[in-house]
Each structure stands twice: as structure tokens, then as C-alpha cells.
Amino acid sequence: MAKIATQTINGKAFEYALLLEFYEKLKLVTKVSIVDNASYKTALSCFESFDEKERSQYRLNASFSVNFLLDLEPRLSNGINEDDILELEIVADKAGQSGDVRDVLAIRSLQKWEIGISAKNNHRAVKHSRLSNDIDFGEKWLGTPCSENYFTVINPIFNGLAQLRKESKATKTWASLGDYHSTVYLPILNAFRDELIALDRDNPGVVAQKLVQYLIGNQDFYKVIKGKGKVEIQAYNLQGTLNLPFGNVKPKAKVPKLKLPTRLIEVVYQNNSTTTLLVTLNEGWQISFRIHNASSRVEPSLKFDINLVSSPHTLFVNTLFLG
């Protein structure tokens, strides 16, 4: 297996464990198949790189999750007839770039139905997005281009970083720059904040909604977060495609539909922070944007670690303790 980051290996192993538990439980009650694609093979390799004890732990977390999801989604267990085969698939990573954050899919083509799972291993970040002088975050995230003014502010900073990298043959470190929080992070964050506010002002009712859709994807999904001795399940039911009945078979718990925001309320720095912005939207959404360098060496781009700080009270959340 090609060298893969530890966090990725953990995540892929959990994806495989979820798919395996779906298969093992559902094959007893319905016709089910696994899509044997490259993503499946990668996830299997990651899973098999762990010892038996660790694999058992992954499967235990996955088993609890799947049992719970079977109660929420009757269509997993119920086919119309013999031709109604449930397909289980691990999604290629590039799908996330097009706004689909789901890792594992369960598909019934005959019912024109599917659900997706976003699998997280001890990891709650929603997105890791870059800023640089050739990334138009407005266009990429929101479908509305950033202004020339934004690029006028950020270009000299990123160009300066590119020059430092070039002159040092990519050996210059961030630490050697001194107070780069003040000289790099703050002006970039300020420009980002000002541009986000301006985009919202010029496109009322659009930016808040598009921002949340960019961060959590354009498809409904369950997020399954594997923790220590517990697993958390969140249901992002924005379009209302989750938690559907199968004929007279109703889900055993109700998953409410989530409301997207329509207004950006404020963009402020987190208390005592020069690296994190808090974006507050209506309908109970709040998002944090923490800027950081992805490498110890200087490069002409920065990364955001983006997290949901708060979400609507209608977000379905359930924590299962493994005992």
C-alpha cells in the first residue's frame, strides 16, 4: 500500500468497518452486494494494517453505529422484491471536492433511494480548506467571485511568501519569520472576514446558505464519529431524504429536517485569538475558521481548520456508549 497519512489510514479503516458491519448484518435479511472498487480495496488494506485487537475495536464501534442506523432507516433492511439489491459502496475521495462529503453509500437503485455516511475517526473538523492568491474562495465555496479588492490585499502577502520559499530553495521555516501571526495570519484573516461580510451584503440571503452547504455538503448524510468508548451519530437532513419509511414500516426514531441559514449575523475573532474567526449565522449555525500553516516550511498558502461550533437545535445527535 502506498504511504498514506495515519489519520487517513484510521479513517479508511473505519469506513471499511462500517461497510463490513452493514454487509454482515444486512445479508441475513436482504440481498446485498459490495461494490469492489479501488476505494474499497484501499479501505480494506487500511483496515488490515491493524492488529486483530484494533480491528475488533473498529468493528465494535461500527456495529453499534450500524445497529442504530438500521432502526432509523427501514429501507436498508427492506427490498421490494428479489431484484431489489442493496449495494454498499465506499466513495472515492474526490467526491468531497464536488460537495459530497459522504464516505460510505447504501444504494437501492430499484427504489431510487440511497443514504450516505460520513465516517470520522476521533476527528470532528468539517473541512480543511486552503487560502492562497490563486484561490477564489467566494467562487469556489459560494458561487460568487471575490472582489479585486480582496486580491489586492492578499496578493502581496502570498507573493512575499512565494519569494521567500523560492530564495531559500524551500528551506525557509515559519518559525524563522518571527511574529508571522501579525504579519501574515492577521492581515489574511482580516481580508477574508471583510470579503465574507461584503459578499453577504452584496448577495443577501445567498452567502449564509451556500456557506453551510459548502461545509457540510450538498447531500443529506449521517455523520458517524468514532470516539474512545463511544460513537456519536449526527443526522444532516437538509433535503428531507433521511429517515424515510418503507411502506408501512416506519423508522423507530424521528430525524427532523434541518433549516439552512439565510443571514450572516457577525464575523468576529474568537476570544484571545489571532488565528480563529467565529462566523455566526441565523437558525443556530456557528462556524469557526482557524487559520494555520500546513507545513513547518514557508509556502504561499494557508489552511483553514473549519469546525461547526453550534448547529440548529433540530440537528439529530445521539451518542452510543460501548460499555
The domain containing residue 117 runs over which residues?
Answer: 6-124+217-259+315-321
**Which pLDDT score is estimated for 17?**
98
Are residues 157 and 244 both part of a single domain?
Answer: no
User: In this structure, is residue 109 part of a structural domain?
Assistant: yes
Residue 198 — very low, low, confident or very high, per pLDDT cuts 50/70/90? very high
Same domain, 82 and 58: yes
pLDDT at 216: 87
Q: What is the pLDDT of residues 306-315, one digit of tens each?
A: 988 999 999 9
One domain for residues 116 and 233: yes
Whether pLDDT at 126 is above 50: yes
- 115 and 160 assigned to the same domain: no
Integer Cα distance of 315 and 257 in angstroms:
8
Instruction: Check whether residue 68 and residue 186 sit in a common domain.
Output: no
Give the up-direction half-sphere exposure of residue 229: CA atoms within 13 A in the CB hemisphere: 1
Q: What is the DSSP string of 119-172?
A: EEES----EEEEEETT--HIIIIISSPPPHHHHHHHHHHHHHHHHHHHHTTT--
* Residue 1, in any domain of the structure: no
Same structural domain for residues 44 and 187? Answer: no
Domain tally, the chain: 2
Q: Are 312 and 285 in contact (CB under 8 A)?
A: yes
Residues 165 and 249 in one domain: no
Confidence check: pLDDT of 125 > 70? no
Q: Are residues 203 and 279 in the same domain?
A: yes
Same domain, residue pair 182 and 228:
no
Is 235 found in the same domain as 93? yes
> Within this chain, do residues 172 and 60 fall inside the same structural domain, yes or no?
no
Same domain? For 46 and 178 the reply is: no
User: What number is the average pLDDT over the span 207-222?
Assistant: 91
Rounded Cα gap, residues 14 and 124, in angstroms: 14
Q: Which comes out higher in pLDDT, residue 3 or 80?
A: 80
When pLDDT is averaged across residues 293-300 and rounded to a whole number, the result is: 92
Q: Is residue 202 situated within a structural domain?
A: yes
Q: Whole-model pTM?
A: 0.86
Which pLDDT belongs to residue 128? 84
**Measured on CA atoms in the order 261, 265, 267, 270, is the torsion positive or negative?**
negative
Could you tell me which residue, 95 or 32, shows the higher pLDDT? 32
The model's pLDDT over 11-55, given as tens digits with 9 standing for 90+, comes to: 999 999 999 999 999 999 999 999 999 999 999 999 999 999 999
